[in-house]
Structure 1
Amino acid sequence: MSEPNGDEKLPVTGNGNRRLFPEEAATAEDHKHDFEVDDPEEDVSIDPKEETKLLAKLDLFFVPIIMLVYLSCFLDRSNIGNVKVAGMPEDIHATADQFSTAVSIFYATYVAFETPWAVLLKKLTPRILLSTLAVIWSLTTIFSGFIQNIGGLYATRLILGACEGGLFPGLNLYLTMVYRREEQAKRVSYLFVCTAISGAFGGLLAYAILHMDGVDGEAGWKWVYIIEGLFSIVVAAAVWFGLPNDPSNAYFLKPEEKELMRRRAVQRAHYMGSEDFSWIEVRIALKDPKVYLSGLIQFCQDILLYGFSTFLPSIIKGMGYDTYQTQYLTIPVYAVGGLAFVTFAWFSDKLRLRAPLVLLANVFGIIGYILLLCNVPVGVKYFGTFLCAIAVYTGPGINLTWLNVNSAPHYRRATAIGMQQTIGNTAGIVAGQIYRKSPYTLGNAFSLGAICVSQFIIVGKMMYIRSCTKKKEAIAAGKRNDDRKVKTGDWTLDFEYHL
């Protein structure tokens, strides 16, 4: 097992009536920068019923805003698939190859900015960083409605990538500031559900807006950009007012609920870590095999996600449907994908299992892509898109949660998430190149190969995590010497990895 350099192991303590997960307990030294704890042995027990009420309230106020902002982000990114079938390439005189390049070029800046934005989240504060990025990409989307040539499309896609690269890792880290490890998969699922909703809503919205073709002498695809960009501006304002920098002191919490948040924070201090930036934690994450195995899995799964979410309208249109039929036929496919992910995520948190559920979801995807590639009736091919959608959204989301819950403390996790997303999102460059011409045999075949490769890497990562766990158990039992170079955070003997 390869481990990066780091500090000595920090002792772990915890008490109270409620069972504390290993990562939730820490010494006063561990969390002195984050919480005012005079007595490290103070009672931080929590009434489960009160905690359930608190979680419901947190979900009520935070989740809609988080979902809205990610919905608008993915909507502004993926609407290029809707405008493609609405005649945009012809209007700006773009060839098929140039348009594919425009799809891919988005990810050049997207992946370049993910890790820096993730690491800077706390320093710049969530409110300032996320709302500023949202305003910039919203304006860029509006200006996309005035594009005259392929150069303009390239420019707007690059700006969108630079801004949107900070959103997903930022929102993901924000969730870790609010929820426990065993509460996260369901909340992360809400983000990926938004990718499905954006597809469904985008298709419905595009279907409606395209009927504005000719209004004020402008093409329908231009109105798609302008109206969706205006929607995103409103969402940016909601982010500024709705996501406080310190969730534990949110405006909607009563004094007793703030105290409950403080107790939860003390219990999770070892998982969250210090507020102080640490290059040591960054270096540890950059040398962690889990990060790169997770990144490779994400790369394979994101080939599906970006290929499917961007080109589903084109895939369905290639089956013989017209432009308007194509837009509304995408809606139930996205809906099934979103609902499937919520279901898988619920079981993931309930069972505290990650990899087995990704493996299962991918089986549906394998069958779906085989149906798209086979010479079968159009109805069967359309059914295949529903099966694909299950893997498309479930795989990347639960894989990200798998890394989330196995990385600690905060800056190690922030770097890990940023790196994983950087590696994974390079798949967007690939997706733009493999989906070129109907019936998209190359794209679907490549996606099928990617999902099969992902299955093998998932099994490999499971084996690696098992070996890490067995080594910790052997050291804790005194059966082997502790020769590890890293003994802090997720490498402490008491930190339990999720499979």
Structure 2
Amino acid sequence: MASSPPRSTSLSEKKDSDPERQHESFLTDNMTDKPTATGAGAETEEVLDPKAEAALLLKLDSVFVPIIMLVYLSCFLDRFNISNVKVAGMPEDIHATPAQFSTVVSVFYATYVAFEAPWAILLKRLTPRVMLTTLCVVWSLTTILSGFITNIGGLYAARLVLGMCEGGLIPGLNLYLTMVYKREEQAKRMSYLFVYTAIAGAFGGLLAYLILKMDGIGGQAGWRWVYFIEGIFSILIGLLVWFALPNDPTEAYFLNEDENEEFSWEDIRIALKDKKMWISGAIQFCQDILLYGFSTFLPSIIQSMGHDSVEAQYLTIPVYITGGRFFMALAFLSDKLCVRGPLVAFPNIFGILGYILIICKTSNGVKFFGTFLCASAVYSGPGLNLTLLNVNVAPHYRRAAAIGFQQTVGNTAGIVAGQIYREKPYLLGNAFSLGALVVAEFLIAGLWLYVRKCNRRKEGIGKGEIEDTRKVRTGDGSWILGIICEL
């Protein structure tokens, strides 16, 4: 494996005849601060044959993507099964009021957001295999033990532990992908992760539907079996991670020497002052209102349309599948065109229309159709917005901090989601989600204008037309590197 060639691209071959895209010719594959020469005598990196690169990319996908997707599936099954057990009678069995059960959803994100940035920063030092396996096993055991809960206090405790562990997953896996793939390949791989979020919703609904038929077996309620079986499944995934992921990605064949960076507090400071990260975090917050409210309460939303608890479980399946397929199509298009921002904004239009149909006095059939429109925005917005941040921040520890803090800001939406979806027909929650999508559209436009302004300034500095007064000139702040996927 160590003999595999680096996936480098000649700078001269990255030039584009389109004047609007010529700034991309200054970019290296991984946004490292390598000295770059220009002119006839310029040195270029060795070019990997396109066929060999395609073969290597296929190898990477065949090894890493299935593992990462399964971990993601495990995480979201264990997180969102709270929606399945809610309609299966858990609140009544543990004597929880509707308000207390809403707090259960919110309390998960208290520890979730607190641990996201630290886990992201520690990923490289702890190594992905060790960190992800440990977190997966702990949250799996917590899920199994949730099946023995008898009161609301026990459920609070379980959700706090679950949040602490799962807080490291999205930043960790996202950062891992940036170590493996080039920027123009990341949206597609990010779509695989978020598609598995949709699959988790669909599969979770189907699995819950089947498991709930075990009600009474062994003297246990059906919702307890949901926790038992899904927890055991997650432990098996954790063991797969241990044996299948490289112990240290900095020593894996797919990375070059320049990516073996030392930890830098300065990069973390720069990330915290980066306007891109904060605007992206605000967008993520708005998009996550939809992601967590819709994903957590979809069975309850459908049940409020007049369906019983069993129907509510299996009717979620086509909705989740629609959302996942829509996002995958947009992600492939995003990588192909190297466009992010407009494709973050586009599916929100469907989400806005969907919530209007659900909120207005329409028939239950029309409201159910509205859930499909909402699903089109559920995964596309958060996934592509995160990809946009990935490709615009470097080097590693600056990106790690940016991802971690962006996710911290965004995932506080989970706390809000638990409080706005309390009582049927969930008018407050749906109206709040609608408003969040509208705000997101304005924020996306603002981020587009800001990044565009930064790029134009870099181009001017590179041409000697503008005086360079910037304080940060390394990583994504370098005019030589520019920003490959402006939006």
Shared fold by TM > 0.5?
yes
Of residues 383, 386, 399 in structure 1, which corresponds to 2:372? 386
Counterpart Cα distance in 1 of 2:277 and 2:314:
39
Counterpart Cα distance in 2 of 1:459 and 1:492:
24
Deviations along 1:162-215, whole A, 9 cap, x unmatched?
Answer: 000001100001101110000000001111111111000000000000000000
Residue equivalent to 2:478? 492
Once the 2 structures are TM-superposed, how far is the Cα of residue 146 of structure 1 from its aligned partner?
A: 0.2
Q: Amino acid of the residue matched to residue 335 of structure 2?
A: D
Task: Please say if residues 285 and 412 of structure 1, whose CA atoms lie closer than 8 Å, have aligned partners that are also in contact.
Answer: yes
Residue equivalent to 2:390? 404
Change (3 A) 1:407 1:431: same
Once the 2 structures are TM-superposed, how far is the Cα of residue 17 of structure 1 from its aligned partner?
A: 7.4
Q: Amino acid of the residue matched to residue 480 of structure 1?
A: I
Deviations along 1:40-83, whole A, 9 cap, x unmatched?
Answer: 95752110111111111111111111000010001100000000
Deviations along 1:382-402, whole A, 9 cap, x unmatched?
Answer: 110000001011000000000
1:303 has 2:298 as partner? no
Once the 2 structures are TM-superposed, how far is the Cα of residue 245 of structure 1 from its aligned partner?
A: 3.3
Once the 2 structures are TM-superposed, how far is the Cα of residue 364 of structure 1 from its aligned partner?
A: 0.5
Task: Please say if residues 113 and 409 of structure 2, whose CA atoms lie closer than 8 Å, have aligned partners that are also in contact.
Answer: yes
What number of residue pairs does the alignment pair up? 463
Counterpart Cα distance in 2 of 1:27 and 1:128:
27
1:131 has 2:133 as partner? yes
Residue equivalent to 2:407? 421
Give unpaired runs (5+ residues) of structure 2. Answer: 1-7, 16-24, 36-41
Residue equivalent to 1:7? none
Counterpart Cα distance in 2 of 1:80 and 1:27:
41
Deviations along 1:447-468, whole A, 9 cap, x unmatched?
Answer: 0000000000000011111111
Of residues 450, 456, 465 in structure 2, which corresponds to 1:464? 450
Once the 2 structures are TM-superposed, how far is the Cα of residue 332 of structure 1 from its aligned partner?
A: 0.3
Residue equivalent to 2:428? 442
Once the 2 structures are TM-superposed, how far is the Cα of residue 378 of structure 1 from its aligned partner?
A: 1.0
Residue equivalent to 1:84? 86
Task: Please say if residues 11 and 27 of structure 2, whose CA atoms lie closer than 8 Å, have aligned partners that are also in contact.
Answer: no
Residue equivalent to 2:214? 212
What pairs up with 1:102-121 in 2 under 5 angstroms?
102-121=104-123
Change (3 A) 1:28 1:133: closer
Task: Please say if residues 11 and 26 of structure 2, whose CA atoms lie closer than 8 Å, have aligned partners that are also in contact.
Answer: no
Deviations along 1:227-284, whole A, 9 cap, x unmatched?
Answer: 000000000011111111345866xxxxxxx4xx45xx46xx4xxx542100110000
Counterpart Cα distance in 2 of 1:26 and 1:299:
28
Residue equivalent to 1:3? none
What pairs up with 1:83-482 in 2 under 5 angstroms?
83-247=85-249, 258=253, 261=254, 265=256, 269=258, 273-482=259-468
Q: Amino acid of the residue matched to residue 138 of structure 2?
A: I
Percent identity of paired positions between Structure 1 and Structure 2: 65
Counterpart Cα distance in 2 of 1:142 and 1:473:
55
Deviations along 1:314-333, whole A, 9 cap, x unmatched?
Answer: 00000011111111100000
Deviations along 1:377-430, whole A, 9 cap, x unmatched?
Answer: 111111100000010110000000000000000000000000000000000000
Task: Please say if residues 286 and 410 of structure 2, whose CA atoms lie closer than 8 Å, have aligned partners that are also in contact.
Answer: yes
Counterpart Cα distance in 2 of 1:211 and 1:379:
27
Residue equivalent to 1:10? none
RMSD after superposition: 1.9
Task: Please say if residues 294 and 420 of structure 1, whose CA atoms lie closer than 8 Å, have aligned partners that are also in contact.
Answer: yes
Once the 2 structures are TM-superposed, how far is the Cα of residue 22 of structure 1 from its aligned partner?
A: 3.6
SS of the counterpart of 2:58?
helix
Of residues 14, 26, 34 in structure 2, which corresponds to 1:19? 14
The TM-score normalised by the length of structure 2 is 0.92
Task: Please say if residues 33 and 475 of structure 2, whose CA atoms lie closer than 8 Å, have aligned partners that are also in contact.
Answer: no
Change (3 A) 1:89 1:29: closer
Deviations along 1:339-379, whole A, 9 cap, x unmatched?
Answer: 00000000110111101011111001000000000111111
Counterpart Cα distance in 1 of 2:456 and 2:45:
32
Residue equivalent to 1:4? none
Task: Please say if residues 118 and 415 of structure 1, whose CA atoms lie closer than 8 Å, have aligned partners that are also in contact.
Answer: yes
Considering Cα pairs closer than 8 Å and 6+ residues apart, tell me whether 1 or 2 has the greater RCO: 1
Once the 2 structures are TM-superposed, how far is the Cα of residue 496 of structure 1 from its aligned partner?
A: 3.1
Counterpart Cα distance in 1 of 2:32 and 2:421:
54
Counterpart Cα distance in 1 of 2:90 and 2:30:
56
Counterpart Cα distance in 1 of 2:317 and 2:26:
43
Change (3 A) 1:244 1:311: same
Change (3 A) 1:285 1:43: closer
Give unpaired runs (5+ residues) of structure 1. Answer: 1-12, 32-39, 251-257
SS of the counterpart of 2:64?
helix
Q: Amino acid of the residue matched to residue 476 of structure 1?
A: G
Q: Amino acid of the residue matched to residue 363 of structure 2?
A: P
Q: Amino acid of the residue matched to residue 28 of structure 2?
A: E
Deviations along 1:275-330, whole A, 9 cap, x unmatched?
Answer: 21001100000000000000000000000000000000000000011111111100
Counterpart Cα distance in 1 of 2:98 and 2:207:
25
Counterpart Cα distance in 2 of 1:311 and 1:389:
13
Segments ≥4 residues shifted beyond 6 Å: 25-29
Task: Please say if residues 178 and 248 of structure 1, whose CA atoms lie closer than 8 Å, have aligned partners that are also in contact.
Answer: no
Deviations along 1:99-149, whole A, 9 cap, x unmatched?
Answer: 000000000000000000000001111110000000000000000000000
Q: Amino acid of the residue matched to residue 354 of structure 2?
A: G
Task: Please say if residues 208 and 313 of structure 2, whose CA atoms lie closer than 8 Å, have aligned partners that are also in contact.
Answer: yes
Task: Please say if residues 300 and 454 of structure 1, whose CA atoms lie closer than 8 Å, have aligned partners that are also in contact.
Answer: yes
Counterpart Cα distance in 2 of 1:245 and 1:355:
35
Task: Please say if residues 303 and 447 of structure 1, whose CA atoms lie closer than 8 Å, have aligned partners that are also in contact.
Answer: yes
Q: Amino acid of the residue matched to residue 116 of structure 1?
A: P
Residue equivalent to 2:21? none
Q: Amino acid of the residue matched to residue 225 of structure 1?
A: Y
SS of the counterpart of 1:24?
coil
Q: Amino acid of the residue matched to residue 309 of structure 1?
A: S
SS of the counterpart of 1:98?
helix
Counterpart Cα distance in 2 of 1:23 and 1:135:
40
Q: Amino acid of the residue matched to residue 147 of structure 2?
A: G
SS of the counterpart of 1:421?
helix
Counterpart Cα distance in 2 of 1:30 and 1:481:
22
